[in-house]
Amino acid sequence: MPNGILTSALIFAVTVVTAIPLGNYAVKVFKSEKTFLDFLKTLENFVFKLSGINPNAEMDWKQNMKALLTINLVWFVWIMIVLLTQSSHPFWNPDSILSMEPTQAFNTAVSFITNTNLQHYSGESGASYFTQLLALVFLQFVSAGTGIAALALLFKGLANKSARNLGNFYYLLVRSCTRILLPLSIVLAVVLLLNGTPMTFKGAETIVTLQGDTVNVARGPVAAMLAIKQLGTNGGGFFGPNSTHPFENPNGITNAAENIAIFLIPIAMVFALGFYLNRKKLAWMIMGVMTAGYLALVIPTMVMEQNGNPLITQMGVTQPQGSMEGKEVRFGSILSAMWCITTTATSNGSVNSMHDSFTALSGMMPMVAMQVNAFYGGVGVGFLNMFIYMIIAVFISGLMVGRTPEMFGKKIEAHEIKIAILVSLLHPLLILAGTALSSHVWAITPDPEETLKWLNNPGYHGFSEMLYEFTSASANNGSGFEGLGDNTPFWNIAAGVVMLLARYLPIIGPVMIAGFMSQKKFIPESSGTLKIDSGMFGVMLLSVIVIMTALLFLPALVIGPIAEYLTIVIK
In this predicted model, what pLDDT tens digit does every residue of 467-517 receive, in sequence order?
999 999 999 999 988 888 889 999 999 999 999 999 999 999 999 999 999
Q: Which of 253, 136, 273 is nearest to 195 (CA)?
A: 253
- 47 burial level (CB within 10 Å; 0-12, 13-18, 19+): middle
Residues sharing a CB contact under 8 Å with residue 455, sequence separation 6 or more, in sequence order: 442, 448, 449, 462, 465, 466, 483, 484, 485
Q: What was the pLDDT predicted at 456?
A: 82
Residue ranges of domains in the chain: 2-570
Q: What was the pLDDT predicted at 571?
A: 63
By DSSP bridging, strand 205-208 and strand 214-217 are antiparallel
Strand partners, 411: 406
Each residue's pLDDT tens digit, 59-74: 999 999 999 999 999 9
Q: How confident is the model at residue 22 (pLDDT cuts 50, 70, 90)?
A: very high
Each residue's pLDDT tens digit, 286-311: 999 999 999 999 999 999 999 888 88
Each residue's pLDDT tens digit, 519-554: 888 877 776 677 888 899 999 999 999 999 999 999
Q: Could you tell me the pTM of the whole model?
A: 0.94
For residue 47, what is the enclosing H or E element? helix 41-51
Q: What was the pLDDT predicted at 2?
A: 58
Calculate mean pLDDT across residues 377-384.
90
Residue 220 carries which side chain, given as an amino acid letter? G
The overall average pLDDT reported for the chain is 91
Q: What was the pLDDT predicted at 426?
A: 96
DSSP-derived letter for residue 40 is G
DSSP 112-170: HHTT----SS-HHHHS-HHHIIIIIIHHHHHHHHHHHHHHHHHHHHHH-SS-S--B-HH
Calculate mean pLDDT across residues 277-287.
95
3 state DSSP class of 411: strand
Least confident of 231-235, 314-318, 353-357: 314-318
Residues sharing a CB contact under 8 Å with residue 104, sequence separation 6 or more, in sequence order: 83, 120, 121, 487, 492
3 state DSSP class of 540: helix
- Considering Cα of 71, then 72, then 77, then 83, what sign does the dihedral take? positive
- Considering Cα of 491, then 492, then 493, then 495, what sign does the dihedral take? positive
Each residue's pLDDT tens digit, 113-144: 999 999 998 888 888 888 988 889 999 999 99
Calculate mean pLDDT across residues 415-437.
95
> Taking the mean position of all CA atoms in its chain, how far away is CA 480?
13
Residues sharing a CB contact under 8 Å with residue 211, sequence separation 6 or more, in sequence order: none
> Taking the mean position of all CA atoms in its chain, how far away is CA 371?
12
Q: What was the pLDDT predicted at 237?
A: 87
Residue 347 carries which side chain, given as an amino acid letter? S
